[in-house]
Structure 1
């Protein structure tokens, strides 16, 4: 399972990535629902203007920022763990609600986690990822294409695990892991 790294290979793989991003070829009903509601949501949300402004400040794409906000909305978790990310990313995750907040370290009952590529993968990050995967929730990995960083370490570990629970979706630059109890491990390459 290798992701296209060069621009030419990405262009050749683009139809397949687009196909999966629309929900085609996604077999699990819960994974299909997640793809259609979070990954490829065609409707406009009220918080998009604020999210777009924060995305420019954080030097991230509008598409990724909107996806991050929709993932937070899907989980409906008032607390999101944000490890190794820029301050603007914290605001994007909680843009869907004025009551939502972000924390640095994992807390009991937290089902939303964002891991960035700002520093190397530490044991605290890996432990928090394992806890979210045990209880269920969503883990978003930003800047997973960097050679070093927490997000890259987590993605490499997940790709190496044969018995990983949940659905792993990646486009090579970022990744989403959506874990629901009882859903076997699946892997999809798609545009995020």
Structure 2
């Protein structure tokens, strides 16, 4: 015998038991495969690697794909040099020590089961019968303001808005109203 389906006392319609969605947000793992707490959605908010090499990205993506979360969202950080194509192309032109294939590095993320956000949004629907069945839109951006010499060799950096040539007002204006919702 199956248990009775709960019903709304006011409408008499069937209701579904709900539970909260658990988000786990990590960053700055720099190639380390750390133990992760339980959750529904994993967000890795940057610095997955030390330099964004093909080898580093491959290993980190494999680790994240094995993690037990219904949804895994990845946003690059300033250490993912190869994922910032214009920046890395400049590095390659200035030194022969930068020889990674940018397209191949991006393909690692784009062909994985992860949701890779690079200054864009995605609608996420959790559909697992045992999960919370949540639907939300998330925006993720790897960009951060330049903070002096410490970001001299950092990807996805923009000039501070206090600088007259700063990109921040234009950069953040890209987030259209209604692109972020719960």
Normalization by structure 1: what TM-score? 0.29
- Larger-gyration structure (1/2): 2
Higher helix share: 1
